[in-house]
Chain A
Amino acid sequence: MIRDVAIVGAGWSGFRSITPELSHKELMYDAAVRAYEDAGVDPRRDIDTFVTVGEDYHEGISIFDEYVPDQLGAVQRPVQSIAGEGIQGLAAAVMQILTGRFDIAVVEGHSKASNILTLPYILAFAMDPVFNRPLGVHPYAIAGMEMLRYLAETATTPEECAAVVAKNRSNALFNPLAGHGASISIDDVLTAEPIAEPLSRLECAGHSDGSVVFVLAAGETARVLSDHPIWIRGVGWANDTFWLESRPWGDARYARAAGEMAFRTAGIKSPAKEIDFAEIDDTFAYKELQHLEALGFCSRGSAGEWTLEGGTALGGEFPVNPSGGALGEGHLLDATGLARVLEVVLQLRGQAGQRQIDAAEVGLAFGWRGVPTTAGAAVVLSN
C-alpha cells in the first residue's frame, strides 16, 4: 500500500443475545470509549475522520447516518456511513488514510439484533421485489439451496458441516466475549430441527447485540501511539452478480475475488503458507468451508475433511475462527466482519487468553454480508 496503516485501538461492547439496558447508541459509546482508551486518543482532539457501517432496516430508522456522530465523539467532523459489511467500512477508513489527508480514522459497526422483531421479513425485502419476493419464502431457503449444491459439487458431507458448528461453539467457550459458547456434538447438530434442508437450526448463527470500534492510524502516527500496532497489509472486496438466477450456487466466487485483491495488495503469493490463522464468515456452517476453499487456504472440496480431522481447530495446523466465529459469538449484523477482525487483532497482540494461538504473526479476516447477498470483504493483518 502507498502508506502504512495500522490498528492502534480496539474496543467492543456486548456480545450478548440481549442487552435490554443499553440503546444502540450507548452500545456504540461503550465500545468507542474502550477503543479510544486503548489507543490513547481523545476523539474530540485527535481523530480526523469517522466511518460507520449499518443498514436502515436493521436500525429500524431511516437515514441511520444521522444517528451516529454524538456517541463517537464525531460531531462537526467528517463522518461517512456505509451500508455494507463491516470490513467494507474498514476498507473505506483505510482508503481515507491512504489519501494522505487523514492520519487517524475510526471505523464502527454495531448490532442491536434483539430489538428487531421481523428479521426474516427484512432479509426477504432484500430479494428482488419482482422476481423473488412474491414467493414469500423465508430467506434462509437461499442458504439451504446453496448448501445442497455445494455439498453435491464438492462431495462435502453434512457431518463435515456439523463439525464446523461443534468446533466454533466449543472455541467460544474459551472466549469471554462470546455469547453462544456450547459443548455440542456433530450428532446434536445433525438431529437439530431443519430450517431449510439440509440446513439445521444449529447450523445457523444466532444473533448477538454488540458494537466494535477500531482506531486506525497512518505509519508514523501509529508507531507513536502504540507499542504494538497491528498492520493492515491488504484489503479486498467484491460482489458477484445480484441475480439468484445467474449466481453459481455451489461456489463463493465473491470470496475468491475479495481474497485475491487482499492478497495482491498484501504481496501474498501463497495464502496457505504465509498466513497463520483466519477468522472467516460462518453465518451458516457450510459457509466457513466454502469460504476457506474460495480464499485458497485448501483445495475445493477438502475443507470439510480438513475440519473433521481437526486441521482448523484451536491447536490445529491452521486455526479457523478461534473466537468461535459468528456461530460462537453470535451474528452481529453489519458488525460481524469487524468482530472477525477484532479476534485477529487480539490474537496478533497475544491478548487472546486461553484460546491464544502460538506464534501468530499474520492473520486474515473475511466477512460476508449474508443472504441474499454476494458481498464479501477480506483483510490481511500482521504484527
Chain B
Amino acid sequence: MSLLHRIEHPDDALNWHGDMPTEGRYTAGIAGERFFREIKEKGQFLATVCLDCDITYMPPRLYCEECFSHLDEWVEVGSWGHVHTFTVVHRDLDNEPLSEPRILAFVTLDDADGGLVHYLDEIEPEDVYLGMRVEAVFRAEDERQGSISDIEYFRPV
C-alpha cells in the first residue's frame, strides 16, 4: 500500500511555524581557560607542545591528536603569522547579502603549528594574498572578556 491520496492544491498544504529556543553554557576547559586568560590579562597567545611529536598546538589542547599523550608543556607564541587561506564572505547568517563583504582567514602563527580563524581588516579584499604577513589586533585591556572576540581582527604587518 502506498499513499493513495495527494494534496492537490497548495492552499490545502498546512504547516505551522515553530522555533527551538536553545541556550547553553560552553566551558572553555582547562586548556581554553588558560589560553583566554592569557589573552585577557596579557594580550598574548599560549600554546601547548607535544615534545615527542614536535607539534606546537594552537589553539592549545591538553592532548596530542597524533600520539594521544597528555600535554603539559606551555609556551608563549607571538601574535603574528601569515595568511594560509582566506575568503571574502558575502552572506550573513540569515543568508542575506552583507552590505560590506568581510574577509575571513586562517592565519598560521609563526611560532606554532596551527593558528587561528579570524577576520582580516585594514586591507581591501583584492589586496589579500596567500602567505601575506599579518598580526593580531587585540582590544583594549579593559574591553577584553576572555574570548576569541578579544582579538578584533588580524591586519597586514
**In the complex, are the beta carbons of A141 and B149 less than 8 A apart?**
no
Contact with B along A115-154 (1 / 0, CB 8 A): 1011111001000011110111110110011111100100
Q: Which of A93-118 contact B (CB under 8 A)?
A: 115, 117-118
Q: Are B89 and A138 in contact (CB under 8 A)?
A: yes
Q: Does A82 contact B (CB under 8 A)?
A: no
Whether B91 lies near A245 (C-beta < 8 A) is no
B156 an interface residue at 8 Å Cβ cutoff? no
**Assembly CA distance A86 to B80 (angstroms):** 41
Residue B52 CB within 8 A of the other chain: no
The stretch of A1-9, A179-187, A190-198 in contact with B is A190-198
- In the bound assembly, the distance between CA atoms of A62 and B18 in angstroms comes to 13
Residues from chain B with Cβ under 8 Å of A137 in the complex:
89, 93, 102, 104
The reply to whether B89 and A120 form a contact with Cβ atoms under 8 Å apart is no
CB distance B119 to A135 under 8 Å? Answer: yes
Closest to A250 in B: B85
Q: Can you show 25 pairs from A to B with CB atoms below 8 A apart?
A: A29-B3, A57-B20, A119-B95, A120-B91, A130-B28, A130-B148, A131-B116, A134-B149, A138-B89, A138-B92, A138-B95, A140-B91, A144-B87, A144-B88, A145-B85, A147-B87, A148-B130, A152-B85, A196-B87, A196-B91, A197-B87, A197-B88, A198-B87, A199-B87, A250-B85
Chain B residue contacts of A148, Cβ below 8 A: 85-87, 130
Chain B contact residues: helix, strand, loop or mixed: mixed
Please report the total number of A residues contacting B with Cβ < 8 Å. Answer: 50
| A141-B87, A141-B89, A152-B130 given; A135·B148 CB < 8 A | yes
Scan A38-64; emit 1 where CB is below 8 A from any B CB, else 0: 000000000000000000010010100
A130 near B65 with CB under 8 A, answer: no
- Taking A135-B148, A246-B113, A249-B106 as known contacts, 6 extra A-B pairs with beta carbons closer than 8 A to each other, sorted by chain A number, are A60-B20, A138-B91, A148-B87, A194-B88, A194-B90, A245-B116
With both beta carbons as reference points, the residue of chain A lying nearest to B10 in the complex is identified as A20
Distance to closest chain A CB from B156 (angstroms)? 18
